[in-house]
Amino acid sequence: MSAPPPRSTAEDPNATSSSSSFTFPPEYSFPPFFTRQTNLTTHHAQLTKWASLVLAYCRHHRIFKLSLSGDPTTTTTTSSSSSETTGGDGGEAAGPDTTELFYNRRINRRLSLADIREVIDFLRRDGRAEYVTTAKGGSAEGGGSGGGGDVAWIYWRTPEEWASLVEGWVDATGQRGSVLTVYELVEGEGTRGSEFHGLDQELLLKALNVLVKRGKAQIFGHEDSLGVKFF
């Protein structure tokens, strides 16, 4: 977790923080926070603080997939205008440049990729993160579920918690026995105002599968047109 060579903010187009509304904790401005602590107790405290910072940051920006390298194109968020302006099919859009999460320009300190992975692994053990896996079963950038890829799910709400929210909405709106499309749940007018409106479709499917296991829902249809019936 050593400091990188000094980099001028003038050559950086994103020098001004995109998250002016997000308040970083005081330790974020403390250089040793970006350096791996050798003392076990201190290291555990450091990991705990980093984990809570990652969760808070992702919750604030509604980031569901986090690129460990900080590439904004692989980070999925839901901003109110993103899907409208891009004309995209899903709720996925280029999110904020997450390099600012692991790189503090003001004190010129960066968390190394190995240490970022350690934070993600720490979150994984707590059930708050998971490496994004490809259809073949490996992780997005190789290395399996343990080794970790380059993109990770950040569960500031676990699929079980999202499932409970969806179930609550189904009960409140009298949708039991109804057939709804996954797109409708994420982008529909009916869910506007609910917390899962604009949720990443893959994450919604994870949540719906929790309800399927509980016998509260059934997913059917084809890959491009999935529907769900609630019981």
Partner 1 sequence: MGNSSSRITAQDQAILDLKTQRDKLHQYQRRITHLTDRETQAARQLLARGDKPRALLALRRKKYQESLLAKTDAQLEQLEKLTASVEFALIQKDVLFGLQQGTNVLKEIQAEMGGIENVEKLMGETAEAIAYQQEVSEIIGGRISVQEEEEVEDELAALEAEVAKKEAAVQRLPSVPDTQLPVQKVAEEERHPRPAAKKAQAERQAMLA
Residue ranges that bind partner 1, judged by CB under 8 A: 83-87, 89, 178-181, 183-184, 187, 212, 215, 218-221, 225-227, 229, 231
Output the smallest distance, CB 178 to partner 1, in A: 8
Output the smallest distance, CB 220 to partner 1, in A: 5
Q: Which is nearer to partner 1, 51 or 199 (CB)?
A: 199
Residue 165, CA atoms < 13 Å, CB-side half-sphere: 18
Q: Which is nearer to partner 1, 146 or 215 (CB)?
A: 215
Q: Which is nearer to partner 1, 13 or 87 (CB)?
A: 87
Bridge-partner residues for 222, per DSSP?
Answer: 225
Output the smallest distance, CB 64 to partner 1, in A: 20
Output the smallest distance, CB 215 to partner 1, in A: 8
Q: Which is nearer to partner 1, 5 or 87 (CB)?
A: 87
Contacts of 151 (CB under 8 A, 6+ apart): 65, 66, 67, 68, 74, 131, 132, 140, 141
- DSSP letter for 8, please: -
Q: Which is nearer to partner 1, 1 or 180 (CB)?
A: 180
Helix (H, G, I), strand (E, B) or coil at 225: strand
Contact by Cβ (8 Å): 3, 34? yes
Output the smallest distance, CB 216 to partner 1, in A: 11
Q: Which is nearer to partner 1, 26 or 87 (CB)?
A: 87
Contact by Cβ (8 Å): 169, 191? yes
Dihedral (CA of 138, 141, 143, 149) sign: negative
CA-to-CA separations, 190 to 18, 133, 196, 205, in angstroms, rounded:
31, 31, 11, 18
Give the pair of three-digit tokens for residue 121: 């692994």
